[in-house]
Amino acid sequence: MITSFLQLNFYFLYLIPNTNLNLFIMRKLLLSIALVSFCFSANAQFGASVGYGSGKAKVSGGGESVTSDASGAFAIGLFYDSEISDNLDLLPSIAFGIGEKVEDESNNSLALGLGLQYYPSGKDGNFFIQPGLGLGFILSDVDTDFIKKSAFSGSIGLGIDLSDNFTLIASYATQLSNSSNIDDITIKANSFGGSLLYKF
């Protein structure tokens, strides 16, 4: 099973969110839910994930827009699978993304995620749908006069439990916040990714 690891858009290395009150509240909400699921779940397991994602950024302003070439990133992470019922699992996560270099400079990131796995026919069906929320942070140097260093995103994924320990997920993520620090300019990104999860 997985959290929103890869879905959580650390694929977007250069894509980031607003530091306004709404984002602050969302960060606190994500951390609070993760803490509650960790403390109060009797049926829970830790796990690790690996994955790959590819995303594009779109810059818009002045009635025009430009879309970047696709940029990929590998990711490794840890998650906590908290079983809520036979149909629902809550998965907080943290992941480290290793992106393609930009002008020979590293392009790495850190992501916090929160996913909700819904099994339409119960756990015996193995198939699930996973919406998620993510908060990503760029670890490389960027010009913060133009770009923010954090990003808020949403995702949707489809997954299947291959066994009691292994899960495979394909997902789509979209950035919900504007990465630009320049007035009248919008920078957002979308990505596709796949990940393999292992529960200890």
**73, containing H or E segment:** strand 71-83
Closest listed residue to residue 111, CA positions, set 128, 98, 101, 129:
98
Position 183 scores a pLDDT of: 83
Closest listed residue to residue 53, CA positions, set 90, 100, 116:
100
Q: Which domains, ranges and CATH numbers included, belong to the chain?
A: 6-199 (2.40.160.20)
Position 19 scores a pLDDT of: 40
This prediction has a pTM of 0.76
Position 21 scores a pLDDT of: 44
Position 36 scores a pLDDT of: 56
* Tens-place pLDDT, residues 144-193: 778 788 888 999 999 999 998 999 999 999 988 888 888 888 888 889 99
Position 26 scores a pLDDT of: 53
Closest listed residue to residue 96, CA positions, set 74, 116, 81:
74
Position 139 scores a pLDDT of: 83
Asked whether 28 and 72 are in contact (CB, 8 A), the reply is: no
Question: Which positions of the chain have pLDDT values less than 70?
Answer: 1-43, 102-103
